[in-house]
Chains A and B, each alone.
Chain A
């Protein structure tokens, strides 16, 4: 099992020149956005990673280079191994090819990352917002988006906060 995983990592490293990283027993490969589609195809067809477990993103604002990292988690059921691909993205170029054609599963995951982070997926069949209302502006999970909490009003600052609060227009 471990040899197959090492084999897969070595093949991908040779083909795409990506770094490998091991932390707490988990293997991660840093991949660039251009190679992602082919690498996923290689993983599914040649190495048996048939379950696409998860896709998520982390925002590193205020660093602009890289601004975000996408984390793709793959799992192989027959060989029982996990692999993670990490794709760093620069702040002015948040475009990634969609892997929906390889893993049909990825459809909603990519919609969620688009909704929450604003990452654009090329060739996605249906890129719309999924968790927020359709006409919402902004991408909530970015670090420069405020939490939007209601401030607790004590007696000493009650009026000051009241001025800032949006009021319902009658």
Chain B
């Protein structure tokens, strides 16, 4: 009613800055192509035509960390790989998010021994954890949608 209706007829939309920026961030979030182990195969299945992730904005996976927004850690992280993963995360430009896909990166999974990090949150701050060994592609998509909900509720004051 009122001024918005008149402006709408003129082709002007009003919204808050937070909502606009968060909306645009979730609509084209490109992940980094960093599959490590078995969960990477399910990530590839989710990207393929049957469970299409491009519907949700993840049209392609960028190979370079400087050109991506999201780090999907898919697979078990060993002590030899941990510094490499940390370096990749540091190379992602802000704003960035990280998703731990699967049991091995959430909590160490089946493997509780000298070679595997018990959860990748030992080195990287994670936004969403997806359970499953490996999680089904629908599970991954549900995790991505949960991440989108989280991003849409981010506040202006917390932006980096």
Contacts and interface: CB of A to CB of B under 8 A. Distances in A.
Direct A/B contact, Cβ within 8 angstroms: yes
Interface of A: 132-133, 140, 145-150, 168
Given A140-B114, A150-B112, 5 more contacts: A132-B80, A133-B79, A147-B113, A148-B113, A148-B114
Interface residues of B, number: 9
A1 B115 CA distance: 44
Contacts, number: 20
B123 to A, nearest CB: 9
B108 interface: yes
Given A132-B80, A133-B79, A133-B80, A150 B108 contact: yes
19 contacts: A132-B80, A132-B115, A133-B80, A140-B114, A140-B115, A145-B114, A146-B114, A147-B112, A147-B113, A147-B114, A148-B113, A148-B114, A148-B115, A149-B112, A149-B113, A150-B108, A150-B112, A150-B118, A168-B122
Interface in B61-114: 79-80, 108, 112-114
A149 B112 CA distance: 5
Contacts of A168: 122
A130 B127 CA distance: 34
Interface of B: 79-80, 108, 112-115, 118, 122
What does DSSP make chain B's interface, helix, strand, loop or mixed? Answer: loop
Contacts of A147: 112-114
Nearest to A132: B80
A168 B118 CA distance: 14
A140 B112 CA distance: 14
A132 B115 CA distance: 8
A138 B108 CA distance: 22
Contacts of B108: 150
A103 B157 CA distance: 65
B138 to A, nearest CB: 30
A99 B15 CA distance: 74
**Lowest 9 A-B CB distances belong to which pairs?**
A148-B114, A149-B112, A133-B80, A150-B118, A147-B113, A148-B113, A149-B113, A150-B112, A140-B114
A145 B115 CA distance: 13
Nearest to A133: B80
Contacts of B113: 147-149
A148 B115 CA distance: 8
A20 B13 CA distance: 87
Nearest to A146: B114
A132 B78 CA distance: 9
Nearest to A145: B114
Among B108, B115, B118, chain A packs the most CB atoms within 10 A around the CB of B115
A133 B117 CA distance: 14
Contacts of A133: 79-80
A141 B98 CA distance: 34
Among B113, B114, B115, B118, chain A packs the most CB atoms within 10 A around the CB of B114
A145 B114 CA distance: 10
Contacts of A149: 112-113
Contacts of A146: 114
B83 to A, nearest CB: 9
